[in-house]
Amino acid sequence: MFIHVVKAGESLWQIANNYHVPMEPIIAANGLTNPNVLVVGEALVIPTEGSVHVVKSGDTLWKIAQWYGVSEQDLASINNITDPKNILPGAVLIIPKKLRPMAGVNGYIDSFGQTAVPTVRRHAGSLTYLSPFAYLIKEDAELQPVDDEPIIQAAKEKSAAPMMAVTNFTSTSKGENLASSILNNPILVEKLLGNILAVMRQKGYQGLNVDFENVLPADRQAYNNFLERAAARLHAEGYFLSTALAPKTGPEQTGLLYEAHDYPAHGRIADFVILMTYEWGYRKGPPQAISPINQIKKVLNYAVSVIPRNNIYLGFQIYARDWALPHRTGQEAETFSPQKAVERAAQYGAVIQYDAVAASPFYHYTDQNGTIHEVWFEDARSAQAKFNAVKDYGLAGISYWTISPTFPQNWVLLEDNFIVKKRPMA
Are β-strands 320-325 and 372-376 bridged in parallel, bridged antiparallel, or unpaired? Answer: antiparallel
Looking at 24, 139, 176, 213, which residue is catalytic?
Answer: 213
What is the Cα–Cα distance from 123 to 386, expressed in whole angstroms?
Answer: 19
Residues in the chain: 426
- What is the Cα 195 distance to its own chain's centre? 30
What is the Cα–Cα distance from 304 to 45, expressed in whole angstroms?
Answer: 31
By C-alpha distance, which of 280, 277, 271 is closest to 393? 277
Residue type, 192: L
Q: 324: buried, middle or exposed (CB in 10 Å: 19+, 13-18, 0-12)? A: middle
Helix (H, G, I), strand (E, B) or coil at 399: strand
List the beta bridge partners of residue 46.
2
Helix, strand, coil distribution of the chain in percent, nearest 5: 35, 20, 40
What is the Cα–Cα distance from 120 to 408, expressed in whole angstroms?
Answer: 14
Q: Is position 213 annotated as part of the catalytic site?
A: yes
User: What letter would DSSP give residue 152?
Assistant: H
CB atoms within 10 A of CB 332: 12
Q: Cβ distance 316 to 322 under 8 Å? A: no
What is the Cα–Cα distance from 287 to 281, expressed in whole angstroms?
Answer: 6
By C-alpha distance, which of 99, 93, 30, 87 is closest to 60? 87
Q: Cβ distance 276 to 246 under 8 Å? A: yes
What is the Cα–Cα distance from 158 to 129, expressed in whole angstroms?
Answer: 10
By C-alpha distance, which of 173, 269, 168, 253 is closest to 221? 269
What is the Cα–Cα distance from 231 to 233, expressed in whole angstroms?
Answer: 6
Residues catalogued as catalytic = 213
